[in-house]
């Protein structure tokens, strides 16, 4: 049974989300400010965190950054509608996804399910490992070794890398990557993909400004090259 942390300073919304998600079988913890959220995230093991950007005591962006210092738990940020800056800052801080308020609870549930499916692949043998050049990818453990060091990736970064690796040479448009990686009909900004590609390059390229593996097809999208 998956355990989620829901963080929002609106009591009515928080109560509604807790009740609705518990009806889906999730175990739900809640927090109403950034300090409480960070304390709970550090003291408990969660399968996913839903984190509002606008919080008292410590904003959601800072909470996300602090969580990422020690954990790769999937994080879905909640932002104000039209607040593009917070969306990008959240992704840069390590969030896997975002939703704009007000949102449909059914869409939030779909996004939570999509993220959890990808973080916990089923029927995957522990020997499901591929190795080539500087890379070794363990699908079951969701671990990546690059140049003899383990690379810590968020859920979406891992999914993005695997999709590109398994389809070497295939160019994916940003829209295609949104659909395939996020796992539902996604109405987000294609800059979401650009942010994740940039973060991924910073982790698996010797020089992220001159990538060797994760390549750009100008005017089209991205592809992987050995």
pLDDT computed for residue 19 by the predictor: 95
Burial class of residue 159 (count of CB atoms within 10 Å of its CB; 0-12, 13-18, 19+):
buried
The pLDDT value recorded for residue 126 is 43
Model pTM score: 0.70
User: Shortest CA distance to 102 belongs to which of 75, 76, 77, 81?
Assistant: 81
Helix/strand/coil for 187: coil
Q: Is the pLDDT of residue 128 over 70?
A: no
Question: Which of residues 114 and 132 earns the better pLDDT score?
Answer: 114
- What is the Cα–Cα distance from 37 to 67, expressed in whole angstroms? 10
What is the rounded average pLDDT of the residues 4-30? 94
- The continuous run of DSSP H or E covering 153 comes out as none
Determine the pLDDT at residue 188. 62
Q: Which residues contact 85 (CB under 8 A, 6 or more apart)?
A: none
Backbone φ and ψ for 183, nearest 5 degrees, come out as 80, 15
User: If pLDDT is split at 50, 70 and 90, which confidence band does 125 have?
Assistant: very low
pLDDT grade for 123, boundaries at 50, 70 and 90: very low
Sign of CA dihedral 8, 12, 18, 23: negative
Please tell me the predicted confidence (pLDDT) of residue 138: 75
More confident residue, 204 or 50: 50
Give the Cα separation of 2 and 45 in Å (integer): 10
pLDDT at 122 over 50: no
Question: Maximum CA pair distance of the chain?
Answer: 52
Tokens of 8: 């929002």
pLDDT digit string, tens, across residues 137-158: 776 667 788 878 888 888 888 8
Nearest Cα residue to 196 out of 162, 145, 146, 150: 162
DSSP state of 214: E
- Domains in the chain with CATH codes: 3-119 (3.40.50.2300), 129-224 (1.10.10.10)
* 128 touches 138 (CB < 8 A): yes
Among all chains, which residue has been given the structure tokens 């590609």?
197
* CA 121 – CA 142 distance, rounded (Å): 9
Which of 9-13, 126-130, 143-147 has the least mean pLDDT? Answer: 126-130
Contact, 65 vs 39, CB < 8 A? no
| pLDDT at residue 127 in the model | 45
pLDDT band at 186 (very low <50, low <70, confident <90, very high): low
CA distance linking residue 222 with residue 115, whole number of Å: 22
- Average of per-residue pLDDT across 159-171: 86
Question: What is the reported pLDDT for 124?
Answer: 43
Taking each continuous run of H as one helix and of E as one strand, the counts in the chain are: 8, 12
Q: Which of 19-23, 120-124, 158-162, 176-180 has the lowest mean pLDDT?
A: 120-124
């Amino acid at each position: 049974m998956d355990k989620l942390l829901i963080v929002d300073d609106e009591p009515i919304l928080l109560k509604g989300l807790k009740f609705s998600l518990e009806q889906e079988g999730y175990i739900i913890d809640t927090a109403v400010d950034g300090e409480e959220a960070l304390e709970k995230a550090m003291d408990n093991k969660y399968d996913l965190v839903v984190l509002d950007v606008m919080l008292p005591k410590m904003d959601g962006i800072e909470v996300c950054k602090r969580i990422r210092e020690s954990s790769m738990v999937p994080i879905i940020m909640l932002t104000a509608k039209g607040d593009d800056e917070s969306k990008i800052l959240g992704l840069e801080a390590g969030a896997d996804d975002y939703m704009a308020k007000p949102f449909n609870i059914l869409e939030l549930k779909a996004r939570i399910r999509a993220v959890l499916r990808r973080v916990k692949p089923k029927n995957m043998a522990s020997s499901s490992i591929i190795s080539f050049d500087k890379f070794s990818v363990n699908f079951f453990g969701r671990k990546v070794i690059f140049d003899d060091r383990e690379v810590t990736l968020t859920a979406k970064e891992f999914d993005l890398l695997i999709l590109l690796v398994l389809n070497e040479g295939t160019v994916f448009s940003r829209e295609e990557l949104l659909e395939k990686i996020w796992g539902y009909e996604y109405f987000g900004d294609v800059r979401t993909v650009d942010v994740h590609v940039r973060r991924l390059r910073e982790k698996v390229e010797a020089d992220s400004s001159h990538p060797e593996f994760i390549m750009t097809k100008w005017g089209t999208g991205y592809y992987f090259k050995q």
